[in-house]
């Protein structure tokens, strides 16, 4: 298994372009099932989850080509297949987002239940509730969800998608995609407001759908008979952007981030600035702007300088559904705040068990006290390198960040988790001055390798 060897304490400086968003790309790819015409997607990041989704769509009768870097062409050619099997869905929970498109276009779907994962329970009751409200019958058999539309066509309806932890992002994507091809009007109440949902609605509308209100908690869909093919560029990855911002801040560095979706990162900029990180967006002439987001640039593709010259101040963070602070950046901000001057508080309201990084950060000298969904971070002057184990995607990113700032050598084991969401993170960080090397853990001394 691959591991990262990080020599900490180097200041990052340079320029990086934010890649296309994995979490936007996955439901966009699933939308290829909604039409028999070709879908061309641009700025698709070359990540394991994307490859798994291509494989899943292949099983479901879609052909694919990748004519050039970042471009993916998908086309549903055999619409008789509707079984998403466990061996593919288990590798990638987002496989669930084929459920709505399959059911809407093919009248039936059989999708293996994804099961739990390292960050806690991942139920799909809200997805199913939404599809039932569109007239589907749903039952479970042999670990699969079997969903059928009466006379092979869904019917618009009213759907409430709020749960104990807010709305559901992929659930909203599923129901909205399904409603696009249903008979009549669908109202999705308590819809997820995430930018990935807006991107999906934008693409579906360009394919001929009639969707209003995406980005707000009430989405209204007027169903249409057919959707056509499209050429669409995926939005930049707000979580990658936020992670790189933390990398600049934790090394007291200065990074110029291009293609940065600042408009989708207001809660994150707010907390970083409160901690003392400086953010300066550039206008279209490349001059620093006095506005947080200059009026003359695309607010989702800003060039921004992120720098930190001094010890950070402690802050309080509560994760929330968008536009609140994203759970997918909680671990990275925790790594950063371990070095703030004073006590910070992080409360996790989306996945209350998502704290696998706490014990590992503590091994590097962080002072963290967890009580249920809250962690108090008592800032320390320095972190010290140690062998640590990545356990989920964003927890891995937080350990890499901590390693960049720590004194000495940090070994992050099992970076396959990281690879699911960040393309060649080691090369990108090295290009701005970090010392990060990917090694096969067989090359490491046994005491540095994580035990099974
Ligand atoms: C997506 C993101 C993930 C992010 C999460 C929350 C993708 C591929 N993944 O995951 O990176 O961390 O949003 O922003 O886009 N819930 C229910 N019932 C359901 C569905 C969800 O109770 O049917 C709960 C979940 O347990 C969780 C909360 O709702 O507490 C939010 O989950 P959800 O938005 O569905 O996450 P995903 O869409 O799976």
170 lines ligand 1 (CB under 6 A): yes
Quote the percentage of the chain above a pLDDT of 90.
Answer: 88
Which is more confident, 66 or 261? 261
pLDDT band per the 50, 70, 90 thresholds, residue 119? low
Residue 322 has what pLDDT? 98
Find where tokens 């590097």 sit.
Answer: 364
Examine the pLDDT at 144 and tell me if it is beyond 70.
Answer: yes
Quote the percentage of the chain above a pLDDT of 70.
Answer: 98
Average pLDDT over every residue of 115-141: 85
Average pLDDT over every residue of 4-22: 98
Residue 444 has what pLDDT? 81
Residue 12 has what pLDDT? 98
Per-residue model confidence as pLDDT tens digits over 377-428 = 999 999 999 999 988 999 999 999 999 999 999 999 999 999 989 999 999 9
C-alpha 30 – ligand 1 centre gap (Å)? 17
Residue 117 has what pLDDT? 59
Examine the pLDDT at 343 and tell me if it is beyond 70.
Answer: yes
160 lines ligand 1 (CB under 6 A): no
Q: Whose CA is nearest to atom 24 of ligand 1?
A: 165
Examine the pLDDT at 160 and tell me if it is beyond 60.
Answer: yes
Average pLDDT over every residue of 229-253: 98
Pocket-testing residue among 98, 114, 115, 163, ligand 1, by greatest number of atoms within 8 A of Cβ: 163
260 classed as catalytic: no
Per the prediction, the chain carries an average pLDDT of 95
Residue 82 has what pLDDT? 87
Examine the pLDDT at 449 and tell me if it is beyond 80.
Answer: no
Average pLDDT over every residue of 13-19: 98
Q: Which domains does the chain have, with CATH numbers?
A: 2-19+236-448 (3.65.10.10), 22-233 (3.65.10.10)
Average pLDDT over every residue of 233-240: 98
Q: Whose CA is nearest to atom 21 of ligand 1?
A: 168
The model's pTM is 0.96
Pocket-testing residue among 169, 194, 197, 199, ligand 1, by greatest number of atoms within 8 A of Cβ: 169
Q: Whose CA is nearest to atom 9 of ligand 1?
A: 23
Examine the pLDDT at 115 and tell me if it is beyond 90.
Answer: no
Residue 253 has what pLDDT? 98
351 lines ligand 1 (CB under 6 A): yes
Residue 47 has what pLDDT? 94
Per-residue model confidence as pLDDT tens digits over 53-93 = 999 999 999 999 998 899 999 999 999 998 988 888 887 88
Residue 233 has what pLDDT? 98
Per-residue model confidence as pLDDT tens digits over 165-222 = 999 999 999 999 999 999 999 999 999 999 999 999 999 999 999 999 999 999 999 9
Residue 85 has what pLDDT? 87
Average pLDDT over every residue of 326-352: 97
pLDDT band per the 50, 70, 90 thresholds, residue 143? confident
Residue 120 has what pLDDT? 62
Angle of the 169-180 helix axis to the 99-106 helix axis, nearest 10: 10
């Amino acid at each position: 298994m691959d591991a990262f060897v990080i020599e900490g304490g180097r200041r990052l400086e340079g320029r990086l372009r934010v890649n296309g968003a994995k979490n936007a790309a996955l439901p966009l790819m699933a939308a290829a099932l909604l039409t028999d015409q070709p879908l061309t997607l641009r700025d698709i990041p070359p990540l394991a989850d994307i490859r798994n989704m291509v494989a899943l769509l292949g099983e479901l009768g879609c052909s694919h080509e990748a004519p050039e870097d970042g471009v993916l062409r998908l086309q549903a050619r055999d619409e008789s297949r509707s079984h998403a099997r466990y061996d593919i869905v288990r590798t990638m929970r987002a496989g669930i987002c084929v459920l709505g498109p399959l059911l809407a276009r093919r009248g039936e779907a059989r999708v293996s239940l994804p099961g739990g994962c390292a960050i806690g329970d991942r139920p799909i009751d809200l997805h199913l509730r939404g599809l039932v409200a569109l007239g589907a019958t749903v039952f479970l058999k042999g670990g699969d969800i079997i969903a059928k539309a009466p006379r092979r066509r869904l019917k618009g309806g009213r759907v409430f998608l709020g749960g104990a932890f807010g709305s559901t992002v992929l659930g909203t994507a599923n129901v909205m995609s399904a409603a696009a091809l249903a008979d009549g009007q669908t109202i999705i109440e308590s819809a997820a407001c995430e930018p990935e949902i807006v991107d999906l609605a934008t693409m579906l509308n360009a394919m001929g759908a009639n969707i209003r209100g995406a980005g707000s908690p009430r989405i209204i869909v007027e169903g249409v008979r057919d959707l056509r093919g499209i050429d669409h560029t995926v939005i930049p990855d707000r979580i990658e952007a936020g992670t790189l911002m933390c990398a600049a801040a934790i090394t007291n560095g200065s990074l110029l981030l291009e293609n940065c979706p600042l408009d989708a990162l207001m809660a994150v900029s707010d907390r970083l600035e409160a901690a003392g990180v400086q953010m300066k967006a550039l206008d279209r002439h490349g001059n620093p702007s006095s506005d947080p987001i200059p009026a003359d640039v695309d607010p989702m593709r800003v060039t921004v300088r992120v720098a930190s010259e001094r010890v950070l101040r402690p802050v309080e963070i509560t994760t929330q559904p968008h536009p609140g602070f994203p759970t997918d950046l909680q671990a990275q901000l925790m790594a950063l705040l371990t070095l703030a001057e004073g006590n910070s508080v992080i409360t996790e309201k989306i996945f209350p068990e998502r704290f696998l990084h706490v014990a590992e950060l503590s091994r590097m000298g962080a002072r963290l006290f967890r009580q249920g969904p809250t962690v108090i971070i008592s800032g320390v002057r320095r972190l010290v390198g140690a062998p640590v184990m990545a356990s989920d995607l964003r927890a891995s990113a937080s350990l890499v960040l901590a390693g960049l700032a720590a004194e000495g050598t940090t070994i992050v084991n099992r970076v396959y988790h990281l690879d699911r969401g960040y393309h060649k993170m080691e090369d990108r960080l090295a290009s701005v001055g970090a010392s990060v090397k990917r090694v096969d853990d067989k090359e490491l001394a046994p005491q540095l390798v994580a035990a099974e």
